[in-house]
Amino acid sequence: MEESHLENRLSAWLKPVSPRREFVQGLGKRIHSLRATASQVRANTWKMILLMLAGLLSLGVLLALAGRGLFALLAGRKRQPRQA
């Protein structure tokens, strides 16, 4: 009920205004240029996805090498006999 009252008051105060032709044409040009850049956004998205996958692969290799080195270090300590 309250929304209807507010809408009625606003419609009584505010009257529709026709936009200037220059504004409409400029807006149309901006929208058209945004459509042209949508393909660029898609290409940039694919580049970012590939970059993230390459980073994750590099991180996985680094962790595997670090784990292997740590394992070899710990296994090497157990094999060495203690000298008294």
pLDDT in tens, 67-82: 999 999 988 877 666 6
Dihedral of CA 28/29/34/36: which sign? positive
Residue with tokens 């940039």: 44
17-48 per-position pLDDT tens digit: 899 999 999 999 888 877 667 777 788 888 99
| Max CA distance (Å), the chain | 100
53 — pLDDT class (breaks 50, 70, 90):
very high
pLDDT of residue 31: 84
Q: Check residue 80 and give its pLDDT.
A: 61
Q: Is the pTM of this model over 0.85?
A: no
Q: Is the dihedral of CA 52, 53, 55, 59 positive or negative?
A: positive
